[in-house]
Structure 1
Amino acid sequence: MKNQVLIGCSSFNNRFWKGVFYPDNLSQSKWFEFYYQHFNTYEFNGSFYKFPTVRIFQNWYNKTPENFIFSVKAPKEITHLKKFSDCEDRIKEFYNVCETGLKEKLGCILFQFPPSYHFTAEKLQNIINNLDLSFKNVVEFRHESWWNEEVWKAFRNHNITFCSVSHPQLPSTIFTDFPLIFIRLHGTPKMFYSSYSPEELLYIKDAIISKSAFLYFNNTASEAGILNALELKHMLE
């Protein structure tokens, strides 16, 4: 992936999109097929709630076009329950399942930590120690204490991407000096619902132009996410 911007959403099975994105007469079973005709990437979030299997990912691999790319979110068992403590084997198993099932369609591996997970130097080192650095690793924090130079320097040194987030309670910095740009747009001021204005999308476009970037709209509790994704895609064409 060289200077390519991939735009997608964090869900697709969305009744709010019927008549807005999905044609009214399109069967729900055909929604993902319609989605991948318009977008070249998808952020797979189901793995956050249930540990995935190779067979599940093989099914997704087989149903998508040749150049389609998945980013996959790590299970909450790893990031929220165990918080990277005593789960080295589980992390390795997760990497293996992703790689075996999705093969060359595997994009980034996203590790999202909860708001209760505050910065310490020990936690930072533990994250680095547990990641397989041969993958495109992206780490998303939900506590502002992680927005500091010690974290950024350590991530850059280990080829780890610090996730840029649009979130009501977090800094909206778009980080462009990591291995790649990875932006998750959750909706602000109302998380999961709010739409982004053309001016906000234009700002994002200008920040990522001529760079390698993944952008996922997670403001999908309404029609906002798909409309924003289509608008930004159009801006970049």
Structure 2
Amino acid sequence: MAKNASKGASRIRVGVGGWTYEPWRNNFYPAGWPHARELEYAAGKLTAIEINGTYYSTQKPASFAKWRDDTPDDFVFSMKASRYSTNRRELATAGESIERFIGSGISELGKKLGPIVWQFMPTKRFEPEDFEAFLALLPHRVDGLALRHVVDVRHPSFKVPEFIALLRQYKTGVVYADTDEYPSFADITSDLVYARLMRSQADVDTGYGASSLDRWAQAAKTWAAGGEPADAPRVTSTPAPDTPRDVFIYFISGAKERAPAAALALLQRLL
């Protein structure tokens, strides 16, 4: 099996957030590796990367095109959407900001364009009508490319069945955050699973211990096959359709210097 750790219609992709990080040099990246070619190297070892810079500032179409050309044909980028769309009192007013982000050139990624993550501040509470208005603003296509959306909510008020029902209605995914800092949602609300693993430890060579990586590998396989891990923290007991789905797992935060090693160790378990 190819390094994508995938068969058939479903795919399991594993990666990290970004590719420019000083502690990865002479660690993940070989000593003396050119900084300008770090994406090329990372994409040759991993199967996906979450772009974080798009959350903070608008990128140029030429940048997306370069990232597309610097990566293998079967590589995928997830990306955080602009914070100006989500960090606001009334989400229903985000239409212009959303359009500006979607039209910023992300379609240059072509078939390498993966899920778009809309991340909300930990102080943002769940207000059903306003949040539904936001979901209704998310476009389904750009320049002929289908778009898939995922929300990353961080306030405990979202841990209610009404929130999960809205996501299923709008076919929007939800981030499963492996952390005690924010609420975790393992409910399947769209045709994908998006997990951000945030417990990497500096004193563990692979960030996560062997038994934890074994459990995540099994969970990824179960999700991809259309099932749901029995111990996953769900808000509702309503099962998702038993159909194959795409799985995206990113090692984010925690001891970030260990993220590439954790991703590589998980990929090995998926072969």
Judge same fold: TM > 0.5, yes or no.
Answer: yes
Q: Which residue of 2 aligns with 1:25?
A: 32
Q: Deviations over 1:168-199 (max 9, x none)?
A: 32234433453200011233689xxx932222
Q: Which residue of 2 aligns with 1:207?
A: 219
Of residues 188, 191, 207 in structure 2, which corresponds to 1:195? 207
**What is the CA–CA distance in structure 2 between the aligned matches of 1:69 and 1:63, rounded to whole Å?**
12
Aligned residue for 2:115, secondary structure, equals strand
Of residues 247, 250, 256 in structure 2, which corresponds to 1:216? 250
Q: Which runs of 5+ in 2 are unaligned?
A: 1-7, 142-146, 225-245
Deviation (angstroms), 1:234: 0.8
Q: Which residue of 1 aligns with 2:3?
A: none
Structure 1 residues 201 and 142: CA distance shift in structure 2, 3 A: same
Q: Does the 8 Å CA contact 2:177/2:185 hold for their aligned counterparts?
A: yes
**What is the CA–CA distance in structure 1 between the aligned matches of 2:215 and 2:74, rounded to whole Å?**
27
Q: Which residue of 1 aligns with 2:71?
A: 64
Opposite residue 147 of structure 1, the aligned amino acid is K
Opposite residue 111 of structure 2, the aligned amino acid is E
Aligned residue for 1:24, secondary structure, equals coil
**What is the CA–CA distance in structure 2 between the aligned matches of 1:88 and 1:166, rounded to whole Å?**
30
Q: Does the 8 Å CA contact 1:166/1:188 hold for their aligned counterparts?
A: no
Opposite residue 266 of structure 2, the aligned amino acid is L
**What is the CA–CA distance in structure 2 between the aligned matches of 1:100 and 1:208, rounded to whole Å?**
28
Structure 1 residues 118 and 70: CA distance shift in structure 2, 3 A: same
* Structure 1 runs of 4+ with >4 Å offset: none
More helix by share: 1
Q: Which residue of 2 aligns with 1:13?
A: 20
Larger deviation, residues 159-168 vs 196-205? 196-205
**What is the CA–CA distance in structure 2 between the aligned matches of 1:166 and 1:188, rounded to whole Å?**
10
1:77 aligns with 2:111: no
Q: Which runs of 5+ in 1 are unaligned?
A: none
1:40 aligns with 2:50: no
**What is the CA–CA distance in structure 1 between the aligned matches of 2:219 and 2:128, rounded to whole Å?**
30
Aligned residue for 2:87, secondary structure, equals helix
Q: Which residue of 2 aligns with 1:97?
A: 104
Structure 1 residues 177 and 158: CA distance shift in structure 2, 3 A: closer
Deviation (angstroms), 1:83: 5.7
Deviation (angstroms), 1:10: 0.4
Opposite residue 215 of structure 2, the aligned amino acid is Y
Structure 1 residues 87 and 219: CA distance shift in structure 2, 3 A: closer
Query: Taking structure 2 as the reference length, what is the TM-score of the superposition?
Result: 0.78
**What is the CA–CA distance in structure 2 between the aligned matches of 1:93 and 1:175, rounded to whole Å?**
30
Of residues 181, 184, 197 in structure 1, which corresponds to 2:196? 184
Q: Deviations over 1:135-163 (max 9, x none)?
A: 21000001121122111112112211011
